[in-house]
Amino acid sequence: MPILMAIVGVWLEHTWIRPDRKKRIFLVEEAWHIINSPFVAQLFQRLLKFGRRLGLSFVAVVHHLSDVVDGAAAKEAAAILKMASTRTIYAQKADEARATGRVLGLPRWAVEIIPSLTPGIAVWDVNGNVQVVKHLVTETERPLVFTDRAMTESSLDHQLTDDALRAAELEAEERAAAFVEHHLGDSESTVA
């Protein structure tokens, strides 16, 4: 695996770190698999460091932060997290939410709300400005983002109707707004 990562690393640097003014988005799904390699984690640090100047947006998707910060490249992973200007946190179990909150330095109210988040609602941390955000999904985007059901059920036998999806989205929005109102009032955070 280290030889493969070395080859991939050289290709990534050649492909992504170029001063040609083209805007690029580098998306790494299940990033914990490769961030745990110190060599690749160091490469990702370089991508983040030079990315803005070179028009590169770097997105790493990690489902459990503990998979990265407790791995072989923990030091590099911590540096990557520190350099990230935008962090989006979806629902997690309470213990994982507490660990995520500690690593990212989230306020207590954000850590408390994470386990109750529903699909489409997330905690966003943008340069220290922490907010609860509802993602608005258009009809065109709906088939692209509601993928869990497609992986576990037959789409013909168990497909939710558009009305049921809209009702679930509305309920999620109302729950998040009620939580924020109950715990924070209007002073610290908003549901957008």
**Segment 66-118, tens digit of pLDDT:** 777 777 777 877 778 888 888 899 999 999 999 899 888 999 999 999 999 98
Residue 125: domain span: 85-192
C-alpha span between 152 and 172 (Å, rounded): 22
C-alpha span between 149 and 160 (Å, rounded): 9
Say whether both 52 and 20 belong to one domain.
yes
* CATH number, residue 21: 3.40.50.300
| Total domains, the chain | 2
Of 43, 67, 84, at which residue does a domain stop? 84
Q: 2 near 36, Cβ under 8 Å? A: no
3-state DSSP call for residue 8? Answer: helix
Say whether both 139 and 50 belong to one domain.
no
Q: What is the model's pTM? A: 0.66
Of 84, 118, 139, at which residue does a domain stop? 84
Tell me which residue has tokens 């962090």.
87
Confidence of residue 2 (pLDDT cuts 50, 70, 90): low
Q: What is the mean pLDDT of residues 129-146?
A: 85
Of 28, 50, 84, at which residue does a domain stop? 84
